[in-house]
Homo-oligomer: A and B are copies of this chain.
Amino acid sequence: MKDYSVLMSYFKHMKKAPLSEEEEADIRSFFSIKEYKKKTLLMKAGEANTKHYYVAKGLLRLYIIDQSGKEFNILFASERQWIGDLGTPAETPYFLETVEDSTVFTISENNFSVLYKRYINLSRYIRKSYVFLQKRFVAILSKTAEENYEELERDHPELIQRLPQYHISSYLGVTPVFLSKILARRIKKD
């Protein structure tokens, strides 16, 4: 049986009131739910009209591949977080991939727009995404990789556990070799 409870609790939270049977059925009808094995691509650069994803279980990453073929992780999303390219319906420059086996709710841009008008608080997702990115942007611009690692460790220790190191280095904007060097240096300091 498909379990929409995570999604429903999110909408309940947004409405700040219980949802009626009809509302629940209605919301359900906009989304599909699917399970993916680790390392599955859900979205690929070059595609247009991509979807929005809400994570029920697991861990995903949004990344780009630059001219030289190097990957950069833009964003991770785990339980109860949105992920996707807000630039949709335009052609996306991003890839979206599961890092762990994951269960994900998917909604099209069109359906998203409909719900967006109905649950104006959905706009929080966009605004929150923006604020998050802006913070991250400033951090990358103004802090060293070591400081950024420490911030990640402090604010999202679970990510450090769940992600391979090379995904973290790519998120911090440095090479795996350099992150390894930072970590070695940190150990020495103690």
Contact = CB atoms under 8 A, between A and B. Distances in A.
Interface residues of A, number: 30
Main secondary structure of the interface of A (DSSP, over half): helix
A131 B134 CA distance: 11
A178 interface: no
A42 interface: no
Interface string A130-148: 1101111110111100000
A46 B31 CA distance: 40
Interface string A106-131: 00000000001100100100110111
A176 interface: no
A116 B137 CA distance: 26
A87 interface: yes
A141 B65 CA distance: 11
Given A140-B137, A141-B173, A130 B86 contact: yes
